[in-house]
C-alpha cells in the first residue's frame, strides 16, 4: 500500500455506535479528523489506546479535531466499550472492512502460528480539506497519542 500522506483521504460513510451514519465529508471545511483503526473492542491494547484518546480528548477538541475510532465490531459492542470506558467520541462499525481496505490497514496477521485477516493498528490525521497530512501505521500504543497531539499542534500553529 502506498502512503496516503499528501493525498485526499478515502471517503467513508459508516454507522456509529448508535446506528447514525458518519461520513468523512461531515467534517470537511470544519475540523481535523483523527481517524484511528483498531482491531477489537475491549482488548488490552485497544482499551489502553481508547482511554489515552479519551484522556486527551479535550486537547484534541481545543485544536479543532474530532476523534473517530474504527473497528469491525458491531454497534452493541461499541456501545458497551464506550459506556465501560467513558469514551467521549464515536466508534464506527466497519463490518465489511471497506474503510480498513481503502486505508490499507486490512492485513494478513499472525498470532500463535495462525494466520488471519485483521486490522493493523493505524491512525490518520486528516485536515479540514480532506487531505491526509500524517499517517501512523503499525502503531505502538505507548506514546502514540502524545505524538499525534504534538503533530496536530504543529499543524494548527502553521494554519
Distance of CA 71 to the CA centre of its chain: 9
pLDDT at 111: 82
Beta pairing partners, 21: 15
Q: Give residue 68's domain range.
A: 1-17+38-140
Between the CA of residue 33 and those of 36, 55, 92, 110, 126, what are the distances in Å? 9, 17, 13, 30, 5
CATH of the domain at 115: 3.40.30.10
Q: What are the tens digits of pLDDT across the range 23-53? A: 999 999 999 999 999 999 999 999 999 999 9
Domain assignment present for residue 62? The answer is yes
Classify residue 27: in a domain, yes or no: no
Out of 4, 9, 46, 67, the active site residue is 46
Q: How many domains does the chain have?
A: 1
- Global pTM? 0.95
Distance (Å) of CA 139 to CA 7, 45, 117, 128: 20, 10, 17, 23
Concerning whether 51 is annotated as a catalytic residue, the answer is no
How much of the chain is helix, strand and coil, in % rounded to 5?
35, 30, 35
In a domain, 9, yes or no: yes
48-85 confidence digits (pLDDT tens): 999 999 999 999 999 999 999 999 999 999 999 999 99
Amino acid at each position: 500500500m502506498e502512503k496516503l500522506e499528501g493525498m485526499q483521504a478515502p471517503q467513508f460513510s459508516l454507522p456509529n455506535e448508535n446506528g447514525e451514519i458518519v461520513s468523512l465529508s461531515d467534517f470537511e471545511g470544519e475540523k481535523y479528523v483523527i481517524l484511528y483503526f483498531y482491531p477489537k473492542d475491549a482488548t488490552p491494547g485497544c482499551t489502553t489506546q481508547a482511554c489515552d484518546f479519551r484522556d486527551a480528548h479535550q486537547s484534541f477538541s481545543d485544536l479543532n479535531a474530532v476523534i473517530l475510532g474504527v473497528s469491525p465490531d458491531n454497534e452493541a459492542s461499541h456501545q458497551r466499550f464506550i459506556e465501560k470506558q467513558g469514551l467521549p467520541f464515536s466508534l464506527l462499525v466497519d463490518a465489511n472492512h471497506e474503510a480498513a481496505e481503502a486505508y490499507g490497514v486490512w492485513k494478513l496477521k499472525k498470532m500463535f502460528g495462525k494466520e488471519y485477516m485483521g486490522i493493523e493498528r493505524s491512525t490518520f490525521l486528516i485536515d479540514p480539506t480532506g487531505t491526509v497530512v500524517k499517517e501512523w501505521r503499525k502503531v505502538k500504543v505507548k506514546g502514540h497519542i502524545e505524538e499525534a497531539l504534538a503533530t496536530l499542534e504543529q499543524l494548527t500553529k502553521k494554519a
